[in-house]
A = this chain, B = another copy of it.
Amino acid sequence: MNIKPLGDRVVIKKVEAEETTKSGIVLPGSAKEQPQMAEVVAVGPGGVIEGKEITMEVKPGDKVIFSKYAGTEVKYDGVEYTILRQNDILAIVQ
């Protein structure tokens, strides 16, 4: 992947929630909850950001839970990504 985030930013790609309900009905996009689980795609270098030392704790491939509505959505090569600060990532799911 050739997006290189700056500073403490992280590029994530949302993991789609199950698209089929228990009864087997396929839900159209708008009827599903906003997914909050994502996979890390690219990670900025960290360092001193706005006068504060930031160490990057996530790495590409990590599955993460992130703060709903955080970050900026960008479309690149037809794929939707979200670019957010590491601070908007709440937890790593192992």
Contact = CB atoms under 8 A, between A and B. Distances in A.
Interface of A: 2-7, 9, 11, 36, 42, 44, 48, 50-53, 55, 57-58, 65, 67-68, 72, 74, 76, 83, 86-87, 89-94
A84 B44 CA distance: 20
Interface majority SS (helix, strand, loop, mixed), chain A: strand
Contacts of A7: 57, 87
A65 B44 CA distance: 14
A58 B11 CA distance: 18
Contact of A91 (B5, B57, B93, B94): B5
A37 B53 CA distance: 28
Contacts of A91: 3-6, 9, 11, 42, 44, 83
